[in-house]
Amino acid sequence: MTLLRLSQKSEFNPSRIPLPSSKSESNRALVIDALTEGENKITNLAEARDTQTMIRLLKSNPAVFDVLDAGTTMRFLTAYASVTNQKKVMTGTARMCERPIGILVDALRAIGADIHYLNAEGYPPLAIHGLPEQKSDKVKIRGDVSSQYISAMLMIAPILPQGLEIELEGKVGSRTYIEMTLELMAQFGIKYTWEGNRINVPHQAYQSTTFAVESDWSGASYWFSLLACSDSGALFLEGLKENSLQGDSKIVEIMDYLGVKSTFEKGGVLLKKQAVKGLKKWDFTHCPDLAQTVAVTCAILGQNAIFTGLESLKIKETDRIYALQQELAKFNADLKEIEPEVFQVIPSVTMPRKVQIHTYEDHRMAMAFMPLLTKTEVIIEDPEVVNKSYPSFWNHCELLGISIEKQTGL
How many beta carbons lie within 10 A of that of residue 358, not counting itself? 18
Indicate if 289 belongs to the active site: yes
CA distances to 27, 37, 402 from 374, rounded to whole Å, are: 34, 51, 10
Which are the contacts of 205, defined by CB distance < 8 A and separation ≥ 6? 36, 37, 158, 159, 189
Task: Give the bridge partners for 308, in sequence order.
Answer: 283
Long-range contacts of 279-283 (CB under 8 A, 24+ apart): 279/254, 279/303, 279/305, 280/305, 280/306, 281/305, 281/306, 281/307, 281/308, 282/254, 282/306, 282/307, 282/308, 283/307, 283/308, 283/309
DSSP per residue, 85-128: T-EEEEE--TTGGGS--HHHHHHHHHTT--EEESSSTTSS-EEE
Catalytic residue among 69, 216, 248, 289: 289
Our CA angle for 62, 65, 69, nearest 5°, is 145
List CB contacts of 284: < 8 A, sequence separation 6 or more: 290, 291, 294, 307, 308, 309, 310
Q: DSSP letter string over 125-164?
A: -EEEE---S---SEEEEESSS-HHHHHHHHHHGGGSTT-E
Cβ burial, residue 1 (10 Å; 0-12/13-18/19+): exposed
CA 108 – CA 149 distance, rounded (Å): 10
Residues 349 and 361: their CA atoms lie apart, in Å, by 28
Question: CB-based contacts of 94: which residues, under 8 Å, 6+ apart?
Answer: none
Which residues are tagged catalytic?
A: 289
